[in-house]
Structure formats: C-alpha cells, structure tokens
A and B are shown apart, each in its own frame.
Chain A
Amino acid sequence: MTDVPEINPPNPEAFLKEARTLATHAPLLRAPEKVHSVFLVIIVAACLPLAGGVVLFGWRALWVVFVSVVSCAVIEKIYFRVTHTPALLGRTHAYLTGVLLALTLPPFTPWYVVVLGALFSILVGKAIFGGVGHFLWQPALVGRFAIAVITPILAPMLGTTDVLQPLSWGVLDQQHIVFGDVKEVKTPKDYRGWKLTDAPDGTNGFAMPHPNKVMSKLWLKSDDNFHNFSSIGTVRDDIPNRQCMLFAVLPPVSDMLFGARPGGIGETCSILIIAAGLYLVYRNYVKWQLPVVIILSAAIVVSIAPIRFTGPNGTMETVWFPMFAEGIEIGFTYVLYQLLGCGLLVAAFFMAPEMTTSPVTTGGQVIFGIGCGSIAMLMKLYMDIPIPAYVAVLVMNTFVPTIDSMWQPKVFGQKHFPWLARAKK
C-alpha cells in the first residue's frame, strides 16, 4: 500500500477558533465598538427621518423602504455567492445602503425602479471596488444617480410620462396620515399650510409643485410659464400680472421645516434629519465640522449667486445679490427655502459623512465640505439636475483620494506640514 496524503476537509472549527482569537499584542483591551455596530447605529439614526416620511407620505413609503433594503441584501448575497469577495462582510452595510437609498426616493416610486437603484448601488457602487472600505463613491448615491439618469429614458417604454419628476407631488392630509394613499391627491385652491388647509373632497391630501423645482433653474430659460415671478418676496406694482416667488407659490416655512412638502421619503422632515444628525455627531460617527461647513458654504453661495426672473413677454430681470436685494429678512427667508428645498440636509448629515468616502483628517473634511455645499448650490441654480446635492457629494467623493494624499496633519514634533516638504526617496 502506498501512502496517500490525506487531504484535510475544510474545518469550520478551526475558523471559529481563529474568529475567537484573543488580543496578543498591546493593547490587550479593546473598545466595544465594531464595524457592524457602527453601521447599525447609523441605520437607527436614519430611521428617524424615515419615520417622518412614513407619517407624511403614508404606508407607500414603508413599501419603498422594504423593497430597497431587501433587494440590496439579496443582490449582495448573490454577488457574494458568485465571486466570494471577502470584503463584503455581513449584510449590515447592505441594509444601511438600502435605507439610505430609500431616504432619497419619492414615496410613489414603482418597485422596479427601486430594484434598479439597489442593483446599481450594490454592484457599481460597492461590489466592483471590492466591498466595504474600498469604494470610491457613496453607494446609495450611485443608485440614486443611476435612477435619475435612467428613468427619463425608461419612461416612454413603460407608457408613463415621468416616473420620478411629475409636475405635482402628493402630501397626505392630517386626517389621512399613515393609512392614506398618496396617489389620491388634488391641488387645493388656496394652500395656507398643512395645518390650516383641509384636503379637497374625495382625496387623501394635497398635490403641490416640488419647491426644488420652483426655485432651481432660475438662470435657465424655461418654456412653461412656471417661473413668472416678479421678484423674490415682494410683489412689484410696476409689472402687472406677476407674483412673488416665495410667499405666493411655495408652502410656508413651517411646512418646509416639519416636512409637509413634496420630496424624497427622508428628505422633507428637516427637524428630524437635524435631530438624527446631532445624534450621530454626539456618537462621534460624524465630525461636526463636515455638516456645518456644507450648510454654511451652501448658504454663502446661495446668498451671493445671481438669479434671474423671466416674465410672460420675454422680459428679464436679474437679481445680483439675492440676500440683500429686497431687504435682509426676505433674503434670509430665500436662503432658508433654498437650503431646505433640495436634499441638502440628508446629504450633509448622512451621505457626505459616510466614513469610507470622506477624507480622514478634519482639515480634509473641511475642504470636502466646502466643495459639496458650493457645488450643490451652483448646480441647483444654474443646471437642470433634479438631485443637485447628491451629485455634488458624488463629485467631491471622486476627489477624496487626492485630498487624503495631499492634506496630511502636522504631527507632534514636526515643524512644518508634511505637504510643504518633499518626501525623501
């Protein structure tokens, strides 16, 4: 008989033993936080604006979240089964991606669009880079961007006009919250705010234009008579048949804060987004500098960037410094509407601070934040993009490796910043 070398079968006990390895080098104690617990805490924080969305848009919002989370997890599982990429650890980050993707989607999104977004999030955003810790762009935003690009192309084939950008969006009335249907809505004659107006007969809520759509593209010539405003906040007597932008067309500021306005499921309720963001800042998962810098730079850009109003007869009027054009109070209100109108708060508190796709150092994060805030507002004002804040974050994500390699901190005992001196070779 010859000695046949015994081939050891894969030993699950050996792996379990390795997975329980004790620390062998100093420090022998470790803090209790692990990677997946970090993701779980961010999911819990994201549930807060999600709850606001469910209250204001009804059960349909929950259906979108469910489809998004399940499809993200299933797609990642299938990809892992096929390729065995080791860095796709667990499903926790897939759940987080699903929740964040759902935050940015409108409540009436069809399920196939959500699945399409999840497919792009997991495959293009995460898996082809090698999984958690390696990707370049925030995965949920990759999915959202793909949806924004593809749905206008898909819409004629599906027989609908526009899946995600209808002219008027629905918000549930107070009497129909949670259990109403956001598709059965009508435009009220005189909308004075969510609490003061009753829904028209036979409907569940109000249909309103998206505030982002009203306030963006002011520099572009529009064919529809949508932008026939005489000024930002006050009606001008010398130009007849025109109205002011802020107080005649847009919902009241309180509705913008509490979320009774059209928008993505988690985008609208600004109070809850800020509360969840402050919790993340308190847990040290988000450095406070990043959201503060994003919001501040966006506010500065909006208050000085010129806008233009187009009249019915082709008359045009340019406002150079909107902050000071009609008094400081109207200027502040205008800036507030611009900041709350798009998904800037979600981008500032949930999307930009994603750990893998933001710079490591605080100085780098400040540069990153200035870029995010200003690019978001410039895109919103001068380009025809439905999701300006998210695209701005994606653009700045692309520069994160450059920022990381250039901005190195001054180490204890060094006289100069390392990027001022050349590396010795």
Chain B
Amino acid sequence: MLFQRYGKFTGGIDVPEEKDSTVDKPISIPEATDSLRIPLMPCQTLPSQPTVTVGARIEPHQRIAAAMKDGIDIFAPLGGTVKSIDEKTIELADLTQPKGIPESSIETSWSDLDSVQLYQRLAESHLPTFGARGETMMGWINRAKKSQANTLIINAVECQPYVTADHRLLAEFGSEVITGSAILGKTIGVSKIIVAVDETHTDDYTELLETNAQYDIQCIALPRKYPIGADNILAYVLTRHEVPCGQDPESIGIAMAGPAECFSVYRWVVCGQRLGGRVVTISGMHAERPGNYFVPYGTDIHELMAPAEEPFIIGSPMIGRLCPEGSVVKPSTDAVVAIDPTIVGVPSQCIRCGWCHDHCPARLNVAVLNDHYELSDIAQAEHLGVLSCVECGVCSYICPARLPLAERTRKLKRAIKRRQTSMPLFTPAPKPPESDR
C-alpha cells in the first residue's frame, strides 16, 4: 500500500530544514545525569501533591505525587532518593541508569475491550499529551468526545526545522503508533482515522504501512511547506473545512493528536508500561552529540546539552523559546536546539511590502494588524480576524524591517482574550542616535 498525496494551502514559506544531522540517528539513551528535577505540573493544570518525603528511596515507576482536581499523578521515571521537595519540583538523586524505551510485550488484547473499558483503562494511565497546549490525556479525550469528533488526525508532519523526534518514532515504532491511533480512535468513537506524514521521509515508514491495512487507517503524505503541521492548517488541508476564527479543530469535529500520544497509549493499554520520558531531538550547530534521545522527564537541559554552551532553544527555532536557567525536560519538549539566534537589531518602521500578508497561512493582513497594535485598537484587530492566527512565526521570519510581528500578534490575541483594552500595548522604542548607513 502506498501513501496518498494531496493538500495545499495559500501562503507558507520554505524554511531551511536542517534535519540532515539527526534524521537517520536511531533513538538512543542519553548520558547518565546526577539528579532529576521532576516537574509537579507537567500539564497546564493544578500542581500535583507530593506523596513522598525527603530521603525516601524511590523505585522506578513508583508514584511520587497525587493528582489535584483534574491533574495527573506523577510517577518517577528512574529510581533514586528524594533530595528535596518544593512547590514545583521533586528532586531525585542517586539515580539508577536510564534504560531507554523498554521492549514491548503484549499483555492485553485491546481489541476485546469496548470503548468504555478503554476509556477507564486510559483514565488510570495518568498520561500527559505532548503538544504545546499542555493538556492531560484525559482532558484531550473528554474534549474530543464532547465535540463528537468523527475524524481523528494523527499529526506526524513535523514541518518544524531541526525536529525529528516524531519521525524517528514513526520509523522505529511505526506499527505501535498505528495501533495506538486505532486505540484512541476506538476510545473517542471516530469513524475515520488519518495519519499525515511528510512526503520526503516516507521511505523509512515500511513498518507503518504494513500495519495500517488492518485497521482501515488512511496514510497521507503531504508536501513540505511551512507551516503545514499547524493544527488548523492541517485540518483544512485534509478535510477542506476551515476552522472558525479563534477555535480548535474540535469545533468542526476533528480531533488532533500526535504520534507520541499514540505510542504512549499503545504502551500503556497493550504492554502495561508507563513511559517516564519522551523522545527529544538534540540538534543545532553547537550541539556536541546531535541525535534523538529517549530522555526521562526532569532532566536538566543544560546537563543534557553539556558541554555545549548557551543559548539553547526549547522546541524548534520557529515557535520555540530561549531556554531559561534551570529548565527541565517536560512532556512538551520535543527538541533542544543549540544555535545562535539571528541578530535582529533595532526594528525599523514598516515599509508596507505586504510579505507578511502574502505568506500568512491564515491570510491575515499583518501589516494592518501591526498598525492596530501600535494604536492599541483591539476591537478593530478582532474584527479583522486576528484570532485565526496559528502562531507559526512566518510574519516575523520574513519581515524585512525585522519587526516582531508574531510577538505583537500574540499580544493582541492575549489582550482580546483578557479584554484588557485599558492598558496601552505599545511603548515607543527609544530614538536611535544618528547613523550614517
């Protein structure tokens, strides 16, 4: 069986991919670290309550914090001794060696379970989701069930530069990812499952193609164009339905998940294993050991990247952020990139070239939105549809005046959501001294 190919959208750009150094490196084990600082708030929920005391000896996969409200329980990825506990982290020392992804062993036949039993089994799992949204797995499933989604799209396009974590997962554990998507689909009760991948790397996905025929899953290879992997754009490309302004694909009956979620769901439902880490791509020209690693949660990013020096970028350079001191690997950390950010200098004024509008995948007139930002005219910005922004960063990337357009659009969206129209958004930049360029 072959991949079907289709899909286009207006706008978008060709970002340099920079994936050559990591695309063929198999998922491996990182070097052992001295301590883990396990976050008590891996998702955007209330922090979990620690159930261990300082000095206690912890076995691997032992529960160390209990869920509050709709949060999740925290399990230790490695064995060790509790060194300290504060509001946000539990620090473990004297660690056991990291083991990477364990061998799969089929313990349960998932096809015997109906959707209610699968739902209950997943409710015991306390899995997070791995997207930037920071939901728990149960939060995502509940949202998808509530919107009565009829299509499940597995977003494995990975259009972001430098990131290859999902690609390696599909290449090495393709059949498990496909089975996991079938489990998720049965749990939510969808009629159609689509797996979307990048068409340049399809040669590695033989295992995936052998499995998908069993479950009647559509595999679609999409052309490489940034940002085809944004959720709203991918939903439009695959179904030709536009997501309404400021809403999620769930509002038109499409549930979106990633391959990492499918893999962890498969490992929990079928093998009974709770993975205490995620695949992280380490890349960039300053990285000492570029590759794909199965990193336990709570590993300090500076220790992971040593001996490379700052700056590090968490996530891809297009949508990620600079790594602050003391940040650790979380479920949403798909890559750590060690490159120098571009020198942008002082932004000059807009010359109204309109490239931001030409390349915006949401067809937003970003130049006019920038005017509204500078005037703090939030009502007009909302009228022009600023909530459709998918935050891909294309406008900032191509702006010849080097204006931080993506940041300003994000602030406009935040202000609309909070209705804080009284505060001026824009403070004028200091006047540059005389320059003779």
Cα of A186 to Cα of B307 in the assembled complex, Å: 80
Chain B interface helix/strand/loop/mixed: loop
B397 touches A411 (CB 8 A): no
- Which residues 335-393 of B sit at the A interface, judged by CB distance below 8 A? 339-346, 348-355, 357-358, 361-365, 367-368, 379-380, 382-385, 388, 391, 393
Question: Across the interface, which residues of A come within 8 angstroms of B313, CB to CB?
Answer: 28
Q: Which residue of B lies closest to A131 (CB)?
A: B349
Cα of A22 to Cα of B317 in the assembled complex, Å: 13
**Interface residues of B toward A: which range?**
35 or more
Question: Across the interface, which residues of A come within 8 angstroms of B243, CB to CB?
Answer: 412-413
Q: Which of B138-146, B167-175, B256-264, B428-436 is near enough to bind chain A?
A: B428-436
Q: A410's contact among B351, B352, B363, B432, by CB below 8 Å, is which?
A: B363
Cα of A133 to Cα of B403 in the assembled complex, Å: 13
A38 touches B344 (CB 8 A): no
Given A18-B346, A408-B365, A412-B363, A356 contacting B437 (CB threshold 8 A): no
The reply to whether the CB of B318 lies closer than 8 angstroms to some CB of chain A is yes
Cα of A19 to Cα of B429 in the assembled complex, Å: 13
The reply to whether the CB of B320 lies closer than 8 angstroms to some CB of chain A is yes
Given A412-B362, A413-B232, A413-B242, A30 contacting B397 (CB threshold 8 A): yes
The reply to whether the CB of B295 lies closer than 8 angstroms to some CB of chain A is no
Q: Which residue of B lies closest to A423 (CB)?
A: B383
**Least Cβ–Cβ distance between A280 and chain B, in angstroms:** 12
**Residue among A28, A359, A424 having the largest count of chain B Cβ atoms under 10 Å:** A28
Type the 1/0 row for B40-61, where 1 means its CB is closer than 8 Å to any CB of A.
Answer: 0000000000000000000000
Q: Which residue of B lies closest to A38 (CB)?
A: B400
Cα of A172 to Cα of B251 in the assembled complex, Å: 71
The reply to whether the CB of B148 lies closer than 8 angstroms to some CB of chain A is no
Cα of A407 to Cα of B394 in the assembled complex, Å: 22
The reply to whether the CB of A325 lies closer than 8 angstroms to some CB of chain B is no
Chain A interface helix/strand/loop/mixed: loop
Question: Across the interface, which residues of B come within 8 angstroms of A153, CB to CB?
Answer: none
A414 touches B349 (CB 8 A): no
Question: Across the interface, which residues of A come within 8 angstroms of B363, CB to CB?
Answer: 409-412
The reply to whether the CB of B306 lies closer than 8 angstroms to some CB of chain A is no
**Least Cβ–Cβ distance between A15 and chain B, in angstroms:** 6
Q: Which residue of B lies closest to A81 (CB)?
A: B434
The reply to whether the CB of B402 lies closer than 8 angstroms to some CB of chain A is yes
Given A27-B393, A418-B383, A37 contacting B321 (CB threshold 8 A): no
Cα of A284 to Cα of B355 in the assembled complex, Å: 9
The reply to whether the CB of A86 lies closer than 8 angstroms to some CB of chain B is yes
A27 touches B345 (CB 8 A): no
A27 touches B364 (CB 8 A): no
B344 touches A26 (CB 8 A): no
The reply to whether the CB of A355 lies closer than 8 angstroms to some CB of chain B is yes
Question: Across the interface, which residues of A come within 8 angstroms of B436, CB to CB?
Answer: 90-91
Question: Across the interface, which residues of A come within 8 angstroms of B388, CB to CB?
Answer: 411-414
A356 touches B397 (CB 8 A): no
The reply to whether the CB of B401 lies closer than 8 angstroms to some CB of chain A is yes
Q: Which residue of B lies closest to A130 (CB)?
A: B349
10 contacts between A and B (CB under 8 A): A23-B344, A26-B391, A27-B393, A29-B341, A30-B396, A37-B400, A38-B353, A80-B434, A91-B436, A411-B385
Interface residues of B (CB under 8 A from A): 15, 161, 232, 236, 242-247, 311, 313, 317-322, 339-346, 348-355, 357-358, 361-365, 367-368, 379-380, 382-385, 388, 391, 393-394, 396-402, 404, 406-407, 431-437
Closest 3 CB pairs of A and B: A411-B385, A27-B393, A90-B437
Contacts A411-B388, A414-B385, A423-B380 given; 7 further ones with Cβ under 8 A?
A35-B351, A35-B400, A86-B432, A92-B437, A285-B353, A408-B384, A412-B364
